[in-house]
Amino acid sequence: MHIANPIYDVIFKYMLEDDKVAKLFLSAIIGEDIIELDFSAQERTIEIPYERTSEISYSSKERAPLTVCRLDFSAKIKTENGFKTVIIELQKAKFLSDLMRFRRYLGLHYQSANNTYDERQEKVRQIYCIYFLDYGMDLPPRPVLKVDYIVRDAYTGDEFPVAGEFVSGLHHRSWIVQIHQLRQNRRNDLEKILSIFDQNNITDSRYILDVDEESFPEAYQQIIRRLRKAGESSQKRREMELEDDIIKELQDKERQIEKKEEELKEKDKTIAELEREIAELKMKLKPE
């Protein structure tokens, strides 16, 4: 079966705009049962006007996403004792330089008075962070990593079950999906679902993946159907092409900046050498 490639932000966002698909997908990642899901008041994806020239007929100006995809959800989760509401911050990034941006964005969530659930704004919601990384990092070589808080006695090292608002309100859980670590061997349902990102399945077009529909658990077939629908859309294909163009332009600009920085370093080095030579000449010209 052919599906649109969700490595592209336009397709990733399109997939999660479907409420049922988003609940299935996010529940699988966090391992909890999401029964209600809403985009937060301000969806934090970024779009810019982009002018493109091509042999194919496009409008003179179209909009396409930047390489940063950020989505916020308010999720109601079923628990053993009832329900809880959490903030799910989902970020998908293509460049290694995104670490500081992740920190800044997380800080905004901790500061926001909107991330509370009582009228006096005293009860803080837990924050769940999900990161999709499309590059190598100094992380264990696994497709999905879970980072959780652990409470220990500092003297004995004894661990305690996490309970109460203090720890959950000041710390957050994280899930890191390393796209480049996805492999053919799927150890559980989550890794089977995430195989929609496996770039080994690219067809003649990098915008389309060829996947085995039967390899996906029945409960998650809606995700595949959603991506198949995107793959059949000429509009989504055009948006992926625009995204490629913007990424290429950003990479070209980064290379230009790096080149300029290297040139400046060489100039500074040359100036320092000249200053040293001048100082040596002055010393020689001093009378004995």
As a whole number of angstroms, the distance between CA 240 and CA 209 comes to 13
Q: Write out the H or E segment, with its range, that includes residue 129.
A: strand 126-133
For residues 64 and 236, the answer to whether their CB atoms sit within 8 Å is no
For residues 74 and 38, the answer to whether their CB atoms sit within 8 Å is yes
> What is the CB-side half-sphere exposure of residue 271 using CA atoms within 13 A?
6
pLDDT digits (tens, 9 = 90+) for 127-159: 899 989 877 677 888 899 999 888 888 989 998
As a whole number of angstroms, the distance between CA 114 and CA 204 comes to 46
**Residues in the chain with pLDDT < 70?**
40-68, 94-123, 136, 163, 169, 184, 250-251, 254, 282, 284, 286-288
Q: 158: Cβ–Cβ under 8 A, 6 or more apart, which residues? A: 152
Structure-token pair, residue 259: 């080149």
Amino acid at 234: S
